[in-house]
Amino acid sequence: MKSLLVLLLVPFFMTQTATVEVVKWEGLEKALANKNGKIKVVNFWITGCKTCVEELPHFEQLHRSFGNQVEVILVNLDKESIEETKVNPLLEKNRITAKVFLLNESDQNTWINKVEPSWSGAIPATVIIDQNNHRRLYEKSLTYAELVKIIHDIHKP
């Protein structure tokens, strides 16, 4: 009976919207360095950036379809003060279940180069980290098809 209940609840939890984890740079750095054998797709966004918000569903779709080989990490750069009013409603609206961090670091000059030295700081931006910690920067919007192609290219021998 108990296990049946668990089974019934699993799909319910799986579709729950992501809860935002507020981190400092050290917290994000740890997540980016986590060796779990998955390709990391790290997207930087804010709620006030139209093109960033438009591409969020592509990352969510990637997370749902390739979750076994790809770890999607959505890094929100909004002020922590608008987490409840702006960030969470937007995640709910887009049914985001992928991992979401809110990077609470006001001095951006201290961490942009640590993510990827070739990044100018412009968003939308996505950094894709393969299993060998090789980083590819995309300082532009990405479609779902583009994301899938990048993942396939990484898998090619």
Partner 1 sequence: MTRVAIFIMLVLVSINAAFIIYAYKLEDEIKDIHLPNVDGKMVSLQDYPKAQGFIIVFTCNHCPYAKAYEERIIQLQEKYASTYPVIAINSNDGVAYPEDNFEGMKKRASHKKYPFVYLHDESQEVARIFGATKTPHVYLIHKEQGKNVIKYVGAIDDNYADESAVKKHYVEEAIAALGKGQEVTVKETKAIGCSIKWK
29 vs 130, beta carbon nearer partner 1: 29
54 vs 153, beta carbon nearer partner 1: 54
**How many C-beta atoms lie closer than 10 Å to residue 115's C-beta?**
22
139 vs 146, beta carbon nearer partner 1: 139
Beta carbon of residue 109, minimum distance to partner 1 (angstroms, whole number)? 4
Beta carbon of residue 157, minimum distance to partner 1 (angstroms, whole number)? 33
**How many C-beta atoms lie closer than 10 Å to residue 123's C-beta?**
19
**How many C-beta atoms lie closer than 10 Å to residue 40's C-beta?**
21
49 vs 154, beta carbon nearer partner 1: 49
Interacting residues with partner 1 (CB under 8 A): 44, 46, 48-49, 51, 77, 79, 106-109, 112-113, 119-125, 139-140
CA distance 25 to 108: 10
Residues in a beta bridge with 73: 42, 99
Beta carbon of residue 76, minimum distance to partner 1 (angstroms, whole number)? 11
CA distance 157 to 154: 8
